[in-house]
Amino acid sequence: MKKITIIFAFAIYTGLFSPLFWKGAGGRVFAQSREVPFTLDDRDRIIQTQAEVSSLRNDMNTRFEAFDTKFEARFEAIDDRFEAIDDKLNKLYTLIYFILGGVFGLIGLIFWDRRSYVKPVKEDLKELMNVLRDFAKTQPELADILRSHKLL
């Protein structure tokens, strides 16, 4: 039984039972018994069909070329828009850099101005304290006030 199954599987695998491999009369596939005649009308139809196909092909080529030119024009317009946006962004970046430079310059000016303003005030304050200490030597009430604030 095993041998019969193997032989049957081999026959199916190789296609021995397929109608494509059965030969009919005259050794032809699909059992065709006579040849189909080829006439001048058939030749004329083939020539006419080839002419129509070539004209359709030419039509298609011209239409595809028209579509290509339209798409190229659209892509160029899109590229121009992207370039315009890029230019605007570059201008915006330049403006932001100038504004940031101005802000940092202003902060630097504020620190420099404060430092240059505080230094003379400190010197004036030291001079005033020296004058008050000298005056406190003659005025005992002023000396008591300065001692209570730990300035003497």
pLDDT tens profile 112-123:
888 888 888 888
When pLDDT is cut at 50, 70 and 90, the band that residue 30 belongs to is: low
Flag whether pLDDT at 32 surpasses 70.
no
- The Cα–Cα gap between 152 and 147 comes to 5
When pLDDT is cut at 50, 70 and 90, the band that residue 21 belongs to is: low
The pLDDT score that the predictor gives to residue 8 is 66
The position carrying tokens 């004036």 is: 124
Averaged pLDDT of the chain = 83
DSSP class per residue in 63-92: HHHHHHHHHHHHHHHHHHHHHHHHHHHHHH
Q: Write out the two tokens for 147.
A: 């001692």
83-97: b or e for each residue (b if 16 or more CB lie within 10 Å)?
eeeeeeeeeeeeeee
- The Cα–Cα gap between 94 and 92 comes to 5
Terminal-to-terminal C-alpha distance of the chain: 127
